Amino acid sequence: MSENAKVTMQVKANGSIRVTGDVDFLDADGNVIKSENGFSLCRCGHSANKPFCDGAHKAAGFEAPPLS
């Protein structure tokens, strides 16, 4: 991963947090879980693939509080 690569995190309305850019996602021990140009993180708590989003928020009717 380049030290100067831009990473963007976008909070989707009533959905996931979309992470894009040259990013490594690490576990608590520093091992790479994902190393790619983008992935979505679960916010609803219903994903079967936590911490990643699997779209379960749609069936769960997840409604996020408004961002301030």
Reported as a single tens digit per residue, the pLDDT across 44-63 is 999 999 999 999 999 999 99
- Alpha carbon distance 68, 49 (integer Å): 28
Which residues are 52's β-sheet partners?
41
From the number of C-beta atoms within 10 Å of its C-beta (0-12, 13-18, 19+), residue 53 rates as buried
CB atoms within 10 A of CB 16: 22
This prediction's pTM = 0.82
Q: Which letter does DSSP use for residue 67 in this model?
A: P
SS3 content of the chain, % helix, strand, coil (to 5): 5, 40, 55
pLDDT band at 3 (very low <50, low <70, confident <90, very high): low
